[in-house]
Structure 1
């Protein structure tokens, strides 16, 4: 049976290549990505696991633009290491004047995220899930380890 082992890369088309290149360049530097490769009509970044590419749209795309709700891309989520990283990302976005559509908060049980827009209005997300649950499991494991070493009365 064929099995997917990961998502290798994402490619998006942008209306203003230079503006988006500057936006994503700052964002990806903050997120720990490096330029993977660059061509006249495309640039890609990687963190060693994920690759993200942008390229200019064609004339029809330029005329139409992106509209949330169209068929296709809704948003892309970057899984971060911790809730603190989500908060740090939000602070970075504010400093850069990026449009934040949903501030850092818990949107589902143990799912903490910030949602923001790229220059074309494409929705992006920085998120962390399962952190409270993982801390609770670690505390329980630590508690169990302490009680195993004590003699029974």
Structure 2
């Protein structure tokens, strides 16, 4: 790998524009409370939440063109969860809240468990856990060797 003077150490935040700020603020406020986020900052027409590692901002859109899955731009945003039980808990919460689930909690790739859902503007979000079964197998193998 070539040497470089600059290195990315993580993703600091994402910021999206929403068509109905109050509706999206209420949706994300409930979602992020459930996911363990707190409000980091709020200004007129924009608000951000954080869990200490990830920040997610929404802001009022200037235009009102609705987002459609498949448009150029963001395909989806995935929240990495602690375990598969958290994915199931998120799905139960989404169902209770009446949120549109586009792909229910399931194994989508080998050892990749996720639920996909939509925000009020149709932006696709995901709660996922990758590698949990592999980690458990490695843990059992290490214990068996000792």
TM-score interval (norm. to shorter): over 0.9
Q: How many residues align?
A: 142
Distance (Å, rounded) in 1 between the aligned partners of 2:127 and 2:66: 24
TM-score, normalising length from structure 2?
Answer: 0.96
Which consecutive residues of structure 2, in runs of 5 or more, have no partner in the other structure?
Answer: none
Match of 2:35 among 20, 31, 34: 31
Q: Which has the higher helix share?
A: 1
The structure number with the bigger radius of gyration is 1
1:70 to partner: Cα distance = 1.1
Question: Runs (4+) of structure 1 moved beyond 4 Å?
Answer: none
Q: Does 1:105 align with 2:106?
A: yes
Would you say 1:13 and 2:17 are equivalent positions? Answer: yes
Let me know the Cα RMSD of the aligned residues.
0.5
Q: Distance in 2 between matches of 1:95 and 1:88?
A: 11
Q: What is the TM-score normalised by the length of structure 1?
A: 0.92
Equivalent residue for 2:48, pick from 24, 44, 64:
44
Q: Which runs of 5+ in 1 are unaligned?
A: 146-153
